Amino acid sequence: MLKIFEEVGKATLLTLWGIYFMFTKPPKLRHFIKQLAYLGAETVPVVIITSIFSGGVIALQTYSTFHRFNAEFLIGAVVAISMGRELGPVLSSLMVVARVGSAMTANIGTMRITEQIDALEVMGINSISYLVSPRIFAGVVGVPMLVVLSDLAGIFGGWFVAVKLFHVNEYLFWQKMVDLAELKDFIGGLYKAFFFGLLISSVSCYFGYYTEGGTEGVGRATTNSVVVSSMLILISDYFLTAIIW
């Protein structure tokens, strides 16, 4: 238990210092743009493809049940609410963990074991400001942007399956979505995305920054980072859902 509290404390302090230096001693703007482009722009194809098929699966699974009651036109609302509240934030965050979080940990961990971080500090460069702050910024800003695209892609996937494959009335599909899906369903998902982005970048930077044990330690840290980030996303999703709704 003492070890767990120690690790949580170190991760929390690293995150708070990273946020503090973001405003007091920020690195050059190009470092923020580079991390945001890597986390956001380069992850867009993965998120869009995953979300299109997720929305399609929702429509595919719900059609047979709604068809019994002649309520196929409600599929649009179900897809929109499901993507906005849960699947958009969670799936996008898990994709970011798999693609970007692991790379963050491996990158910083490699710098640690090759003593590049020590070299930065010898040159008078604040290693937390240089390495952690831009990645926290990228997570907090980039993940909500990805969630917006994920919601739109999921709705498109549900529309294609329901309207084009099952010939559901297109006007009712969109009208019931407008009537039943509320703005707070999507805003709540963005709140989750903001927290998940902070969580992903904090955990990934922590495991990378405190890597030890050579190249084997980098692999171990990367694995632990992905596992812990994924678990924390799913666990915190429950509590965030209980608070928001």
pLDDT in tens, the chain (245 residues): 888 899 889 999 999 999 999 898 888 889 899 999 999 888 999 999 999 999 999 999 999 888 888 888 899 999 999 999 999 999 999 999 999 999 999 999 999 998 898 898 888 888 899 999 999 999 999 999 999 999 999 999 999 999 999 988 899 999 989 999 889 889 999 999 999 999 999 999 999 999 988 888 898 999 999 999 999 999 999 999 999 87
Please report whether residue 6 resides in a domain: no
Cα–Cα distance, 139 to 207 (Å, whole number): 16
Please report whether residue 60 resides in a domain: yes
pLDDT of residue 233: 95
**Pick from 131, 149, 147: which is nearest to 32 by CA?**
131
Cα separation of the two ends of the chain: 33
pLDDT of residue 245: 76
Cα–Cα distance, 158 to 57 (Å, whole number): 7
* Location of structure tokens 């955990």: 203
Domain that holds residue 133: 27-244
Q: Hey, is 167 helix, strand or coil?
A: coil
Tokens for 184?
Answer: 């707070």
pTM assigned to the model: 0.91
Please report whether residue 158 resides in a domain: yes
14 in Cβ contact with 206 (< 8 Å): yes
Between vectors from CA 190 to CA 131 and to CA 22, what angle results, nearest 5°?
Answer: 25
pLDDT of residue 227: 94
Between vectors from CA 172 to CA 170 and to CA 177, what angle results, nearest 5°?
Answer: 105
- Single-letter amino acid, residue 187: I
Please report whether residue 71 resides in a domain: yes
Q: Which residues contact 229 (CB under 8 A, 6 or more apart)?
A: 97, 101, 199, 200, 203, 204
pLDDT of residue 125: 87
Cα–Cα distance, 198 to 139 (Å, whole number): 6
Please report whether residue 14 resides in a domain: no
**Pick from 117, 134, 136, 138: which is nearest to 126 by CA?**
117
Please report whether residue 13 resides in a domain: no
Cα–Cα distance, 145 to 44 (Å, whole number): 9
Please report whether residue 10 resides in a domain: no
Please report whether residue 9 resides in a domain: no
pLDDT of residue 41: 86
Cα–Cα distance, 238 to 243 (Å, whole number): 9
Over the Cα atoms of the chain, what is R_g?
21
Burial of 108 (0-12, 13-18, 19+ CB in 10 A): buried
Number of domains forming the structure of the chain: 1
74 in Cβ contact with 168 (< 8 Å): no
List, for residues 72-103, the tens digit of each pLDDT value: 889 999 999 999 999 999 999 999 999 999 99
Between vectors from CA 93 to CA 4 and to CA 191, what angle results, nearest 5°?
Answer: 90
Alpha carbon 153 to chain centroid, angstroms: 16
